[in-house]
A = this chain, B = another copy of it.
């Protein structure tokens, strides 16, 4: 620990994203233990934390590899020494991206998503020098990317023709992000993966991997179908997960340390955490633009870039100008992507700083 790190959390400039290490470690070990008992592989989505330190702790707790969203994230984690990577995304490999994928495949155990014949053909160019495996993306109800199960075999056939090794199917049950939706989305996930498997096997493809999962659906996953889970948010949790009932507020490991900068009228305060540190995600079912820890009956009613406007219920004690408050972001993945480092604390002391090494690695 350097002298620079041996500081009090109370000395950090606001706004800043602070991680409580004990809560984070409890979240990591809890999900690892769940996956072990369920008999499924755990492949955490590293887009959430984008740090080598977070990934190392996940692997040490039993995760088999990492999931990422982009070639740039894969490069960042490969540079940090992680060698089992799944880019769970239907990449389109133009020539430059094909070269980068081939270079990654030379130094890692690489898997990539595919959901179209055109995408498969382009990926084939990348795999001609250094082979890698692909999984066909299935839409289980989120209606984003991914084909319906009935169309999976055509994609797998195109991938085989392009020289790619098809090893399975994957899906993201993103429609589980809604009140009362996680259990249903997990059932949809299992049904879609099962039907796609049947289709692929009928077309002569072996299906070794059926990959699913997300933080809200993971513990509802049907483990005799799903062989691998890819939750991301669980390492920190966030206000969305609290609203979904995935976790209680005390299981949220990250919050934005913020200063009350304005209290212009009774019942309204303004904090210096805005959308440039919290992110702007705000589903209708989340009660506000973030959650204030330790302030009762307070709602973040709007965010500007550097302002969080808070309504405090009449008659409740409101924080005063200069006070420090902790804000839990609605969606931690987009919050972390806004900062260069996470300030890691334990018992009020800053014990480490983790570089958000894959921040902004969108391409």
Contact = CB atoms under 8 A, between A and B. Distances in A.
Interface of A: 11, 13-16, 47, 69-70, 89-92, 94, 96-97, 115-116, 118-119, 122, 137, 139, 143-148, 151, 174, 259-265, 268, 270, 272, 275-277, 279-282, 302, 304-307, 309, 320-322, 333-334, 337-340, 360, 362-363
B118 A322 contact: yes
A259 to B, nearest CB: 5
Given A47-B305, A122-B322, A90 B262 contact: yes
A270 B16 contact: no
Nearest to A93: B322
A355 to B, nearest CB: 12
Given A144-B304, A146-B262, 14 more contacts: A11-B96, A15-B362, A90-B270, A92-B261, A119-B262, A137-B262, A144-B307, A145-B261, A146-B264, A148-B264, A151-B264, A272-B362, A276-B362, A305-B333
Contacts of A362: 15-16, 272, 276-277, 306, 338-339
A115 B145 contact: no
22 contacts: A13-B96, A89-B261, A89-B306, A92-B260, A92-B322, A116-B262, A118-B322, A143-B309, A144-B302, A144-B309, A145-B261, A145-B307, A275-B280, A275-B281, A276-B360, A276-B362, A280-B281, A305-B333, A305-B337, A338-B360, A339-B360, A340-B360
A118 B321 contact: yes
B305 A270 contact: no
Interface centre among A118, A151, A281 (most CB of B within 10 A): A118
B259 A94 contact: yes
A241 to B, nearest CB: 16
Contact of A305 (B90, B268, B334): B334
Nearest to A48: B305
Nearest to A10: B94
A239 to B, nearest CB: 14
A264 B115 contact: yes
A174 B309 CA distance: 13
Contact of A115 (B94, B115, B143, B262): B262
Contacts of A363: 13-16
Contacts of A14: 363
Nearest to A331: B280
A144 B262 CA distance: 9
- Report the 10 A-B pairs with minimum CB-CB distance, sorted nearest first: A145-B262, A118-B321, A13-B363, A280-B280, A145-B270, A69-B306, A116-B321, A90-B262, A92-B261, A277-B362
Contacts of A92: 259-261, 272, 321-322
Nearest to A145: B262
A5 B306 CA distance: 34
Contacts of A275: 279-281, 334
